[in-house]
Amino acid sequence: MEQPRVIGHVVSVNGFRLKVELSTEAKSSSRATPDGVQRAVAINSFLTFDLGAGTHAIGILSDLEARESYDPSTNEELSLELIKPRRIAAVQLLGTVKQFGQGEWKFDAGITILPTLDTPAEVANPEVLSWIFEHPPLRNKPKDWNEGDFDFPLEIGHHTGDENTKIKASFNDMFSRPLAVVGNTGSGKSYTVASLVRVILENDRMQRDNGADPHIFILDINGEYANAFLSDDQANYQREPNKLYLNGEEFGLPAWLMNGEEICDWLQASEATQEPVLKDWWAIAKANPTDAGPYDPVQTAIGKIDSAISWLDGNTPASNFDLAINHAKQYAPDDIIDWGEFDRQLNWTPNGDCKWRRVGNDREVRDFLEQIRTTLLANISERQNEGVNFAKSADAPRFVPVHEFRDPNLVDRSTDQDSSKKIDQYLLTLKLRMRTRLDDRRWQSFFSFEDQNIHSFQEWMNKLGVGQKSASRVSVLDMSMLASEVLPFACALLGRLFLETREMLKPDIRSEYPWLLILEEAHNYARPPRTHEDRGESLSRRSFERVAKEGRKFGLSLIVASQRPSEISPTIISQCANFFSHRLQNPDDIDHFRRIIPKQAQRLLDQVTVLAAGEAILFGSAFHVPARAQVRLPSKEPWSATAAPYVDWSKDTVFPLADVVESWGIAGPENQEQQNDSGPDLDDEVPF
C-alpha cells in the first residue's frame, strides 16, 4: 500500500465538521503504519488533512455510518443494481498543526484554511499526537521572566485505549483559574482531586528544601481526604459531632471572624429594625480602645454597594436600595465614582415613586454596581501599595471575647435610652436568638476559640499553616460532622476570609503567593439562587461567586467538585476555565453541562454516560484539544471506596453500633442511669 496512513477522502465540508468516505481497505479499527499499529477507523481516533506548506488540519472521528441507498431521477428507468455501501465517518475539526523543526510540531486552535473535497484523510502521526497531548500550552508567563521554565506539563493520565499517549495540562492554567470536576458518585471525582493535589506536592520544584510553599485548602464535606494527605496517625482521629477538624485536630471558626452582613444573616436579623442595631453593636464589640484608628470610608462604601446588590435579589421596599446608594455616595464621592452616570442608568418600574418599585434594567444596574465595587477595591489596593491602610471597621476580623456574646445587655449598648425603650419589643427576639445560638451545640465550633487559645486573626491563620514554612502545605478541613444548617455558614466564612486576606496584599506581590481552594460536594453550599432559600445558602453562594469571579486577580483559585453540576451556581460554573467530566447519568446535569462547554467538546460529551470509573472527558484552556482520558491514580487514595455487599454480608461480624453511640456522644439504655447520676443534663439549657 503506497499510502499506509490514508483511510479515505473528504466528501463533505460543513463548517468545521467534515464527512470522510472510507476506502474499501479501511475495514479494521486499526491500521498498520510505519510507526506501528494505530487506531484508525474508530470513535475518538484522530485524523489529519494536508493543507499544504507543512500544515495539517487535525480532527477527531465522532460518528460512523454505512449508506446503501439508490435514488434514480423520475425520467430514468428503474433497474436492479448491486450497490456497495458507502461507509462515512464524521470528523470534528480541532485545529491545525505545523512542523517547525525536526520532529517538532506546533498546534494552533485556529483554522484559517479548511480541507477541500477529495482531500485525503490520514491516520494522525503519533509524533503529532505526542506534541499535542504531551506538550500543553504554556500559560501565565511572569513579566520579565528569564530564569528558565515558567510552566510545567502536568500529567493527568493517558488517552483512553492508548496507554502510550500521555495527556498533560498546563500546570499554571490548571491551578490559577477555576476548575470543575463533576460526575456521579463512584465515577472517580475524589480520586481525580487527590491525584491533582498529589502531583503538586510530589513535583521536584515543590519540595521543602527548595523553599517552596504551595498552600491548598480542602473543604472536606465527607471526611474522605485525610487518608490521602495526612500521616497514618493523623488520619485515624476520633471525630465527634458538631466539631470541625483541621488535619486531624479540632479546629474552630471564631464567630468574631464574621462581618456585619454575616452576623445579621447568622442571627436572622430583620432588615428594618434589627439589622442596623446589630451592626452598630458589632462595630462596638470589635472596637479596641488600645488600638483606635480611623475607619476606612471606601471599605464602608463597598459594604453599602453589597447591600444594594442584595436588594436586587430580595423583595423589600425600594427605600432600602435608596438608603444604601445614598450612604455609598457619602463614603465614595464623585472624584472616585461617577454617580451621575449611575443615576442615569436607573430605570424604575412601574415608576420612581412607588414604594415597591423594582429596577427594570436589572442587568445593566447590577453590572454597573459590580464595576463600582471593582473600582473601589482597586482604590484600596492603590492605597495599600502606598502604605495607607485603615482596616478599622466592624468587618475586620478582630477578636471579641465569648463573654461579650453572653452579655444580656449587649444589644442595648448600640441604642440610646429613649430609643431602647421604643424598639425593645423588636430586639427581644434578636436577644433570644443570640442565646439560642450560644447554647446550641451545633454551633460550638464558632465559640471554641478561647479553648483553642485563638485570640487574633493571625493566630487563627497560623493554625491553617499560612505564613509558616514548617507547616503542612495541605489544610484538610474536615466538615463532615457539622450540621446541615451550620455547614453553609462555615463554608461562606472560609471562602470570604481567604479572598479578603489576599485582597489585603499589595497588588505587586499578591500573585507570588497563590492559594488553591477545593470545594468538595459543592452542590451542598454553592447552589443556584432560589425563591425561598436559607440565609446560610445565600451567603455561601455569594461568597464563592465572588471567589470564582475575582479570585484569579488575587491569586486564589478554585477546584469545584460535585455530583450535580446543575445544582451549582451558574455564575461559579461559568467562570471555570477547565473541566473534568466523569460519568454523568442525569439528563438535567448533562444538558446543563452541554450548554456551558465549547462546541468542540460537545460531541465527546455524548460519551459521558458510558465512561468507566476513573475515565473523564477533559477540556479547557489548559489543553490543546478535548480528550477522553483515564485519569492516573493518586499515590495515596482518599477514603472513597464502594461497598462490596457480597463480601461484607458474608462475614461473621455485626454492625459496630456501640462505636456509633460513643462517637455521637449519646448513652445507651444500659448507661442512662449512670449518665443521670453524673450531673444535670446540659440539653435542658437549650432554649428550644
Asked if the model's pLDDT at residue 295 lies above 70, the reply is no
Q: Is residue 386 a part of any domain in this protein?
A: yes
User: What is the reported pLDDT for 292?
Assistant: 41
pLDDT band at 216 (very low <50, low <70, confident <90, very high): very high
pLDDT band at 499 (very low <50, low <70, confident <90, very high): very high
User: What is the reported pLDDT for 328?
Assistant: 86
Residue 9 cell numbers, joined: 477522502
SS3 at position 100: strand
Residues 286, 368, single domain; the answer is yes
φ/ψ of residue 556, rounded to 5? -120, 115
Lowest mean pLDDT among 107-116, 320-329, 534-543: 320-329
DSSP 293: -
Residues 241, 289, single domain; the answer is no
Residues 417, 353, single domain; the answer is yes
Residues 302 and 376: beta-carbon distance below 8 Å: yes
Instruction: State the chain's mean pLDDT as an integer.
Output: 83
Q: Which residue has the higher pLDDT, 279 or 175?
A: 175
Residues 106, 119, single domain; the answer is yes
pLDDT per residue as tens digits for the range 134-159: 999 999 888 888 878 899 999 999 98
Q: With 0-12 CB in 10 A as exposed, 13-18 as middle and 19+ as buried, what is 454?
A: buried
Q: Which residue has the higher pLDDT, 375 or 687?
A: 375
User: What is the reported pLDDT for 9?
Assistant: 94
Q: Please tell me which of 373-382, 501-510, 567-576, 674-683 the model is most confident about, judged by mean pLDDT.
A: 567-576
User: What is the reported pLDDT for 290?
Assistant: 44
Distance CA 218, CA 517 (A): 6
Q: Is residue 65 a part of any domain in this protein?
A: yes
Residues 26 and 2: beta-carbon distance below 8 Å: no
Type of residue at 328 = A
pLDDT per residue as tens digits for the range 385-395: 554 444 446 68
Residues 430, 479, single domain; the answer is no
- β-bridge pairing 179-182 and 578-581: parallel
Q: Which residue intervals of 575-631 are DSSP H helices?
A: 587-596, 599-605
Rounded to the nearest angstrom, the gap between the alpha carbon of residue 89 and the centroid of all alpha carbons in its chain is 37
Q: Is residue 224 a part of any domain in this protein?
A: yes
Q: Is residue 493 a part of any domain in this protein?
A: yes
Q: Is residue 47 a part of any domain in this protein?
A: yes
Q: Is residue 639 a part of any domain in this protein?
A: no
Residue ranges of E strands in 355-414: 358-359
Tell me how many domains the chain contains: 4
Distance CA 184, CA 642 (A): 13
Cα three-residue angle 596-597-600, rounded to 5 degrees: 145
Residues 476 and 246: beta-carbon distance below 8 Å: yes
φ/ψ of residue 572, rounded to 5? -70, -50
SS3 at position 264: helix
Residue 327 cell numbers, joined: 450612604
pTM of the model: 0.78
Residue (of 129, 230, 194) closest to 632 by Cα position: 194
Q: Which residue has the higher pLDDT, 214 or 397?
A: 397
Residues 284, 235, single domain; the answer is no
Q: Is residue 637 a part of any domain in this protein?
A: no
Residues 107, 238, single domain; the answer is no
Structural domain ending residue among the three candidates 446, 462, 480: 446
DSSP 40: -
User: What is the reported pLDDT for 392?
Assistant: 47
Residue (of 104, 109, 111, 172) closest to 134 by Cα position: 104
Residues 225, 285, single domain; the answer is no
Residues 536, 554, single domain; the answer is yes
Q: With 0-12 CB in 10 A as exposed, 13-18 as middle and 19+ as buried, what is 368?
A: middle
Residues 225, 312, single domain; the answer is no
Residues 386 and 379: beta-carbon distance below 8 Å: no
Residues 244, 264, single domain; the answer is no
Q: Is residue 457 a part of any domain in this protein?
A: no
- What is the biggest distance separating any 2 CA atoms in the chain, rounded to whole angstroms? 106
Task: Give the structural domain span for 54.
Answer: 6-69+84-129
Distance CA 428, CA 411 (A): 10
pLDDT per residue as tens digits for the range 56-109: 999 999 899 987 655 555 555 555 555 567 889 999 999 999 988 777 889 998
Rounded to the nearest angstrom, the gap between the alpha carbon of residue 112 and the centroid of all alpha carbons in its chain is 35
Asked if the model's pLDDT at residue 683 lies above 50, the reply is no
Residues 477 and 218: beta-carbon distance below 8 Å: yes
Residues 89 and 64: beta-carbon distance below 8 Å: yes
Residues 316, 421, single domain; the answer is yes
Lowest mean pLDDT among 182-196, 456-470, 583-597, 641-655: 641-655
Phi-psi region of 409 (alpha: psi -120 to 50; beta: other; left: phi over 0): alpha
